[in-house]
C-alpha cells in the first residue's frame, strides 16, 4: 500500500487527508476505483486509517479527510467526558450540506489531478454515524460522479432541516447500502422508515439491513459496543456493493 498525508484546500482551509491505495507500478494495476470516506464524530484517527487501509487492500484508492478542518487542523475525541463530548458535538454541528459540498469537491479535485492513481469515473462513498447524511448529500450534489454509497449506523436521518436525508433521499440516483444497528438512540426504526420512504420514491436500488442486537458504533473495535461479527459483516457488505458497482479488478 502507498500512503499519503496531504493538506487539501477546502474553503481556504487546509483539510488534512489520509490517502491510501495500492501501488500503480508495472504489473500493479491502476488507476484504482475511488472511495471517499467520511469520518464519524470522534474525528479522523488511526482507527479509521486502519479501516481505510483494509478497503484499499481490496483495490481502491481511499481518501479520508478531517471534516473539522475549519475549526481544528487535527481532532480526536480522547475521553468521553462531558466537556469533551460537548466539544465534539459543537464540531459536529458546525458541519452541514454546504461544508460537505466544499469538502467533497476538494477530494474530487485531487482525484481528477491524479489519474495515474485514481479512476475518476468509478467513485463510491461511505460514512459512519454522523456522516450518514453526508454521503446522501454528496451523492445528490455529485450525482454525475458517485455510483454507490454505504452508510453504517448513520445518525440524524430525520431532522427539521429542508436538507434532512428523509426529505431529499427521493433525489438519489446511485445504489445505496444502509447498515442499521438494532439498538440506536440516533436512528430509531421510525426514523429509518421515514428514510426508506424517500429511498423508495427515488427509484434507485437500495438495501436497508438491520444488525440484530448490535448497538450504535458496533463497527469500531475501540468502542465498548464493538461487535466483531457485525463489524465483519458490514465490511463484507461494502466489499460486495463496491466490488459489483465499481468493478475494482476490471
Q: Show the domain range for 180.
A: 2-246
pTM: 0.95
> What is residue 156's three-state secondary structure?
coil
- The Cα–Cα gap between 131 and 85 comes to 17
Q: Please list the residues that pair with 15 across neighbouring strands.
A: 8
- The Cα–Cα gap between 158 and 179 comes to 16
User: Residue 131 sits in a domain of what CATH number?
Assistant: 3.40.50.1820
pLDDT tens figures, 120-175: 999 999 999 999 999 999 999 999 999 999 999 999 999 999 999 999 999 999 99
pLDDT tens figures, 17-74: 999 999 886 566 779 999 999 999 999 999 999 999 999 999 999 999 999 999 999 9
Domain count, the chain: 1
Residue pair 150/128 in contact (Cβ under 8 Å)? The answer is no
Amino acid at each position: 500500500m502507498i500512503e499519503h498525508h496531504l493538506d487539501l484546500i477546502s474553503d481556504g482551509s487546509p483539510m488534512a487527508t489520509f490517502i491510501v491505495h495500492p501501488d500503480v507500478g508495472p504489473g500493479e494495476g491502476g488507476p484504482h476505483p475511488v472511495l471517499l470516506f467520511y469520518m464519524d464524530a470522534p474525528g479522523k484517527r488511526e482507527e479509521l486509517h486502519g479501516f481505510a487501509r483494509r478497503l484499499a487492500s481490496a483495490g481502491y484508492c481511499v481518501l479520508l479527510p478531517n471534516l473539522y478542518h475549519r475549526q481544528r487542523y487535527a481532532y480526536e475525541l480522547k475521553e468521553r467526558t462531558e466537556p469533551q463530548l460537548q466539544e465534539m458535538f459543537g464540531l459536529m454541528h458546525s458541519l452541514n450540506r454546504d461544508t460537505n459540498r466544499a469538502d467533497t469537491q476538494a477530494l474530487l479535485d485531487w482525484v481528477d489531478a491524479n489519474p495515474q492513481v485514481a479512476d475518476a469515473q468509478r467513485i463510491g462513498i461511505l460514512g459512519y454515524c454522523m456522516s450518514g447524511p453526508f454521503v446522501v448529500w454528496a451523492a445528490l450534489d455529485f450525482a454525475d460522479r458517485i455510483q454507490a454509497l454505504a452508510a453504517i449506523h448513520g445518525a440524524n436521518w430525520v431532522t427539521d432541516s429542508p436538507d434532512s436525508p428523509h426529505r431529499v433521499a427521493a433525489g438519489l440516483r446511485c445504489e445505496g447500502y444502509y447498515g442499521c444497528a438494532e439498538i440506536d438512540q440516533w436512528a430509531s426504526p421510525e426514523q429509518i422508515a421515514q428514510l426508506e420512504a424517500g429511498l423508495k420514491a427515488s427509484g434507485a436500488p437500495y438495501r436497508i439491513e438491520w444488525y440484530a442486537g448490535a448497538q450504535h458504533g458496533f463497527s469500531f473495535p475501540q468502542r465498548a459496543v464493538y461487535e466483531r461479527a457485525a463489524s465483519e459483516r458490514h465490511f463484507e457488505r461494502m466489499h460486495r456493493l463496491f466490488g459489483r458497482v465499481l468493478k475494482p479488478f476490471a
